Structure 1
Amino acid sequence: MDLKDIQNLIKFVAKSGASEVKLETEDVKITIRTGSDDKETTTYVQQIPVNAPVAQAAPAVAQPVAPAQAPAAAAPATNADDSKYITIKSPIIGTLYRKPSPDKPVFVEVGQTIKEGDVLCIIEAMKLFNEIESEVSGKIVKVLVDDSSPVEFDQPLFLVDPS
């Protein structure tokens, strides 16, 4: 399922008035939740690879990576110092926010222990705020992206020590 299909699905769900839609195919599981307040509707999209992630080489330095069609997954880093760490990558293009709102603390700090499903950050794309959840448990070793900065698809965001 490509980004255009996901965007069309989000638009359809928003127009239908449904509060939650789950879609599961052979290779992708998508959950779209809409929660409305008095002023606007916020949609959260979570795209989870169903099959085990395939190991991919990650750049040693955080750099934008050309867009691809496969969903982002945690992959081991290739740098000798970082070989034991898992890289959490951006599943979409957008603006990364490390805090739920400007007056709140960041979701995760370096040295913090996380578990699978913990929210690491939010990426805003087309006025939709997408919570990025951890696919692994471990300890945050390094944050590779600054708050409120643009990110590319498959760009490394966090290094996690799974031990």
Structure 2
Amino acid sequence: MLKIQEIREIIKLIDQSSIEKFSYEVDGAKLELKKGNGQKASTIVETAPSIQQEIPAVPVPKIEEVIALQQEKPADLAAVQIEDPNLIKITSPMVGTFYSASSPDVPAYVQKGDSVKPEAIVCIVEAMKLFNEIEAEVSGEIVEILVKDGQLVEYGQPLFLVRAN
């Protein structure tokens, strides 16, 4: 089965080329791209012989947009505050979107000043529609929350600073 990133790359390549129609089949899954009249490519994925699903083309950000987003990031608070040897960083185990609560209408898992235990859930990182609960893995007090709700996070990016007990 094709991964979403592979499909995005194929869409990008077809969109930039003069090819009007593209078909690819692997492991029973069929990918068919068609474009015409200056419109973006659309994707038809067939997972079984009788089921077809149309997926709109995924816009790929331009390199200038990615650079601009990276320049907007505030200075890394962890680098400034990590002087205290009792402060431990809770980092993101994956690339995804940070959520402080399980849904918008419930309180955040943790707030500044809260005590946590190793098995306590501190946030959710969503990656490809999978919501991954992140545990503290340390006992202590939340000193700082380094990211905002809904913010994209990178692998290894500090999310919280915890003062260990």
SS at match of 1:147: coil
The match for 1:90 is 92
The match for 1:156 is 158
> 5+ residue gaps in structure 1?
5-59, 64-76
RCO higher in 1 or 2 (8 Å CA, sep ≥ 6)? 1
Cα distance, 1:82 vs. partner? Answer: 3.1
RMSD: 2.2
Equivalent in 139, 142, 156 of residue 140 of structure 1: 142
Cα distance, 1:81 vs. partner? Answer: 3.6
Amino acid in the other structure paired with 1:129: F
Change (3 A) 1:80 1:161: closer
Change (3 A) 1:80 1:156: closer
Whole-Å Cα distance in 1 between the matches of residues 82 and 150 of structure 2?
30
Identity of aligned residues (%): 51
Amino acid in the other structure paired with 2:124: I
Amino acid in the other structure paired with 1:159: L
Which structure has the larger Rg? 2
**1:50-89 equivalence runs, <5 A:** 61-62=76-77, 79=81, 81-89=83-91
TM-score (norm 2): 0.51
Confirm or deny: 8 A CA contact 1:62 1:155 kept in the other structure. no
Whole-Å Cα distance in 1 between the matches of residues 109 and 82 of structure 2?
28
SS at match of 2:85: coil
The match for 2:121 is 119
Name whichever structure is richer in helix by fraction: 2
Change (3 A) 1:123 1:134: same
Whole-Å Cα distance in 2 between the matches of residues 80 and 155 of structure 1?
14
What do the CA deviations read for 1:42-61 (whole angstroms, capped 9, x no partner)? xxxxxxxxxxxxxxxxxx81
Whole-Å Cα distance in 2 between the matches of residues 120 and 80 of structure 1?
20
What do the CA deviations read for 1:111-150 (whole angstroms, capped 9, x no partner)? 0001011000000000000000111011000000000000
The match for 1:55 is none
What do the CA deviations read for 1:41-87 (whole angstroms, capped 9, x no partner)? xxxxxxxxxxxxxxxxxxx8159xxxxxxxxxxxxx78564332000
